[in-house]
Amino acid sequence: MIITIGRQYGSGGREIGRRLAEKLGIPFYDKELIELAAKESGMAQEVFEQVDEKAGSSLLYALSTGSMAGGHFAPLNNLTFNDRLFLLQNQIIRDIAEKGPAVIVGRCANYILRERGGVVNVFVHAGLQERIARAVSEYGHPEKDAAGIVQKIDKSRANYYDHYTGEKWGVAKQYHLTLDSGVGLDNCVELIERYAEMSRKPVGER
Amino acid sequence: MIITIGRQYGSGGREIGRRLAEKLGIPFYDKELIELAAKESGMAQEVFEQVDEKAGSSLLYALSTGSMAGGHFAPLNNLTFNDRLFLLQNQIIRDIAEKGPAVIVGRCANYILRERGGVVNVFVHAGLQERIARAVSEYGHPEKDAAGIVQKIDKSRANYYDHYTGEKWGVAKQYHLTLDSGVGLDNCVELIERYAEMSRKPVGER
């Protein structure tokens, strides 16, 4: 069973995924997907960190960030770094799913694995105030900036998802289960685990 | 605890709500909301059935359907019948929520009760094939028409919701919990019940 988790920034979706993977004793992938992409491509991880979960910006943008120093990371076939990372992660996510059970956070994993059986797609969100509080307490953003950061990152995630999937981020019908994490992170873990258990039964016995 | 259930046509959301209400021993409201609106306003139920969960169409439309015979149901203050029904159901839903626990299906109940605590908002959807099958088996639509009917009714429900709430129907963040009913109707009942139980605890103990 593969469980993918899309999440609003500051909703606790990543932490829910981490706890769920720990509880089930299966691998957990979030930022690890960038490391793997860097390793596989031989490109610098820092370059990918800049474009992770962002819609394809132009080469000009990459140049302007200084990450192109020496022309070493020139994109192939006019692909942006964003595109390259998406394609690499696409393959990495498929490979992970082949290997066995896992929890995969973000990166359009639900879309990438859409043809595959045995996948439970989850989306986690929360009220804006809760997300702002988490941006401060968990990610250390200054309180005065937190609201802007939360909204900017979510906008970026939505652009990324919509750009690469042609669908709309956070629309219920794309996920088996979506949760307002205000119910509590461990409670979300329990509900996802329960949904996954239910899904393992043959359709006729549900 | 009030549980509201938005649902795609043919997703089984209504049946999930009915079973949930039965299990919890609390009142269930779906088409009952039209009856109540008719009773309260003194208007004919048939008029309301025609505009139930439809965005405000024009007076002309109401005239063309023949439901205006005798000019008896002329709208007040230029409100369409759709608007009148929405406003009546708005008040009826608030009154129901005041009286005690209930399950309320559709009619923007999540939006109408948005300022109120102790409400769990649910949205139920399903794959198109499953919904078509249910349109045939549960609602008796001819197989050749079912796909068109399912999509037309969902479009109408989305228009209705978006028109009266200014929000987007079926977007995860408007609901505490959304479910793909492919997991099984009784399983959905169990998950909603569990979410509601979890929500009853004080925030600090979740």
Rg (CA), chain B: 17
Residue of A155, A178, A188, A192 to mutate, interface with B, max B Cβ within 10 Å = A178
Interface of chain A toward chain B, CB-CB under 8 angstroms: 8, 123, 125, 168, 170-173, 175-180, 182-184, 186-187, 190-191, 194-195, 198-199, 201, 203, 206
Cβ–Cβ < 8 Å for A121, B180? no
Q: Are B32 and B48 in contact (CB under 8 A)?
A: no
**Backbone dihedral angles phi then psi of residue A102, each to the nearest 5 degrees:** -165, 160
The confidence score (pLDDT) of residue A71 equals: 46
- Calculate the CA A134 to chain-centre distance: 18
Q: Report the gap between the CA of B68 and the closest CA in chain A (Å).
A: 38
Distances (CA, A) of B108 to A18, A144, B122, B157: 35, 35, 11, 10
Instruction: Describe the strand order of the beta sheet including B177-180 as a list of residue ranges.
Output: A28-29, A102-105, A2-7, A119-125, A177-180, B177-180, B119-125, B2-7, B102-105, B28-29
pTM (predicted TM-score)? 0.89
pLDDT at B6: 97
* Nearest CB to B198; choose among A177, A184, A203: A184
SS3 A166: coil
Contact yes or no for B125 and A178 at CB 8 A: no
Query: CB A94: neighbour CB atoms within 10 A?
Result: 13
Question: What are B202's two structure tokens?
Answer: 């004080």
Predicted local confidence at residue A69, as pLDDT: 46
State which amino acid sits at residue B21: A
What pLDDT is attached to residue A60?
A: 47
Cβ A190–B195 below 8 Å, yes or no?
no
- HSE at residue A91, side-chain half, CA atoms within 13 A, is 10
Alpha-carbon span B86 to B156, nearest angstrom: 14
Give the per-residue pLDDT at A42: 87
Find which of A183, A191, A195, A206 to mutate to test the B interface (most B CBs within 10 Å of its CB): A183
pLDDT at A68: 47
pLDDT band at B75 (very low <50, low <70, confident <90, very high): very low
Residue of B198, B175, B199 lying closest to B7 (CA atoms): B175
Q: Could B194 and A194 be called an inter-chain contact, meaning their C-beta atoms sit closer than 8 Å?
A: yes
Matching residue, tokens 């000009």 = A60
CB B105 within 8 Å of CB B30: yes
**Residue type (1 letter), A110:** N
Give the helix/strand (H/E) hosting B120.
Answer: strand B119-125
Contact list in A for residue B175 (CB cut-off 8 A) is 172, 178, 180
- How far A170 CA sits from the closest chain B CA (Å)? 6
Hey, what amino acid is at A108?
Answer: C
Contacts of B32 (CB under 8 A, 6+ apart): none
Beta pairing partners, B102: B2
Q: What does the block give as tokens for A39?
A: 């390793």
* ipTM of the complex in this document: 0.88
Q: Which residues of B touch A203 (CB under 8 A)?
A: 182
- Low pLDDT (below 70) residues in chain A: 57-78
Round the average pLDDT of chain B to a whole number and report it.
88
**DSSP reduced 3-state for B2:** strand
B94 CB contacts (<8 Å, ≥6 apart)? Answer: B112, B113
Closest of A33, A31, A38 to residue A14, by C-alpha: A31
